[in-house]
Structure 1
Amino acid sequence: MAWASLILAGIFEMLGVTSIYKFNKVRNWQSLILLLVTFGASLLFLSFAIKILPMGTAYAIWTGIGASGGALIGMIFYGDSKDWRRLVLIAMVIGAAIGLKLVS
């Protein structure tokens, strides 16, 4: 259950990053509420995961999911560069997160 909470926390972190982008484009109360809800849910699920998983591992995986997912969302939906080097580096972040899970 802790790993499921951690994955959900990472997904909400990705959505939170996307919410920041949306809030910077359209400053209204709906965008602000979306930003607060997504990051709030992310931190809530992270707190559930940290009750069982080592804090360092959970935090590293959470930020890895958020960072790589945010970069992929930017590439897919917002026209960010899809340079092969960026994709290799994102794969390295994901690989490091998987490696942390394997040694935990």
Structure 2
Amino acid sequence: MAWMYLVIGGLMEVLWAIGLKYSDGFSHPLISVLTIIGIVTSFYFFSRALKYLPVGTAYAIFTGLGAAGTAIIGMVYLGESISYIKLFFILLLISSIVGLKLNAKVEA
């Protein structure tokens, strides 16, 4: 279950990062509230995962999922530039996340 908490937290990180962009410095009330809810939810699930996973591994995976997901959403849906080098490094980041997961020990 710890890994599910971590993935949910990482996906929520993508949502709040994009929400920060569209809140326009928290000047749009509805988007700002949704962004804050996303932040709280993201950290809630991350904190649940930390009960069972080493903090270094969990944090690296949490932020890596958020970074990779946000970059992909930005390129696919928000018109951000796409390049082979950017795609290479996103794939490298995802590969690193998988490697960390494969080598992590879950505490009981």
Q: State the Cα deviation string for residues 34-53 of structure 1 (Å, max 9, x = none).
A: 11011111000000000000
Stretches of 4+ aligned residues off by more than 3 angstroms? none
Unaligned 5+ segments in structure 1 are none
Structure 1 counterpart of 2:101: 101
Q: Percent identity?
A: 38
**Which structure shows the higher helix fraction?**
1
Structure 2 counterpart of 1:21: 21
Structure 1 counterpart of 2:83: 83
Structure 1 counterpart of 2:74: 74
Unaligned 5+ segments in structure 2 are none
> Contact 2:5/2:48 (CA < 8 Å) preserved in 1?
yes
- TM-score, structure 2 normalization: 0.93
Between Structure 1 and Structure 2, how many residues are aligned?
104
The one-letter code sitting in structure 2 at the alignment partner of 1:65 is: L
Instruction: Give me the whole-angstrom Cα distance separating, in 2, the residues matched to 1:70 and 1:25.
Output: 18
Structure 2 counterpart of 1:37: 37
SS of residue matched to 2:24: helix
Q: Does 2:18 match 1:55?
A: no
Q: State the Cα deviation string for residues 15-51 of structure 1 (Å, max 9, x = none).
A: 0111011112882210110110111110000000000
